[in-house]
Each structure stands twice: as C-alpha cells, then as structure tokens.
Amino acid sequence: VNCKRATLWIVDEETNELWTSFASGLDKELRVPLDSGSLAGWTAANQQMRNIPNVQKDPLWSGNAKKPQEWVPQTMICIPVLKNGKTLGVIQMMDKISGKDKVVAFDQNDEKLLKMLAGHIAIFMGDDEDEDEAEGGVLGAMKKTLGF
C-alpha cells in the first residue's frame, strides 16, 4: 500500500497510552493517551477497523494539526493489532497514493491486506516476550513490509 505516512502504534498498558517510535517522518518517540479521542485510540479501544475516505469530515477527527503549515491527512485507515482478544497495537496509514501522487481512499483490498499484516504483526508480539525483542521484531517487520 503506497501512502504518505504509516505508523505502528503500540499499546502501553502501564501508562494507558499508544506509543510509536516508527512512523514515516518521525525522529523521536511519540505518545498519545488512549482516551485522547484520536482515531488510532478509538481503533485500539473498540478493536474495530476505521477506513476514513475524508478525514476532516469524520466525527472522530480531533484536528490535532492546528497550525496552517502542519500537514493534515485527507484519507486514513486504522487497523487494530489483536491477539487473544487483546489489543496490542494499531496500524495507521494516511493518504493512499495512486497514479501521479493523487490521494485516494483506501479500498477493500487495502483493508484485507492490512488485516493480514496486523495478524502477522500480532504473531511477533506476545505477553511473555521481552519488550525490546518484541519491538525489534514488529518494527523490523513493518519497516520491511512498508519499505522504510
């Protein structure tokens, strides 16, 4: 799936946050509260996919990018990473690119592909794995899959 930005959010149960250190264009760790009203947070809490063809018209869009120079996505898809009924993380992709840099909505094929990817990522993550080992496996898999 070719897109402008992709993020793998991981659930931190101790702090009740989503965190990532792997997102295209990100050079530091980023954390957001699970109950912040973010689309990724909603996906984690509800364990449901969100495919949003027009982000700014979505009722859950928080509009975190308040400065005019900040980038605002047009389309987005969020897929929960689940294992044994537990949310481990969220795959979030923004602004699918088609053709000559044209932003289009994510389609059913993208949904299927990302659900399969989420299943594979869940295999790398586990309750009894060392956190650093799990992070390396997941982040390495995402980077390889997404071409980063």
Q: In this model, does residue 146 exceed pLDDT 60?
A: no
Q: How many CB atoms lie within 10 A of CB 69?
A: 5
Q: What is the pLDDT of residues 63-112, one digit of tens each?
A: 654 445 577 899 999 999 999 999 999 999 999 999 888 999 999 999 99
Q: Which tokens in the block code for residue 64? A: 């975190």
CA dihedral 34, 36, 39, 42 (to 10 degrees): 50
Q: What is the pTM of this model?
A: 0.80
What is the model's pLDDT at position 72? 86
d(CA 146, CA 69): 26
More confident residue, 96 or 32: 96
What is the model's pLDDT at position 100? 83
Share of the chain above pLDDT 70, in %: 75
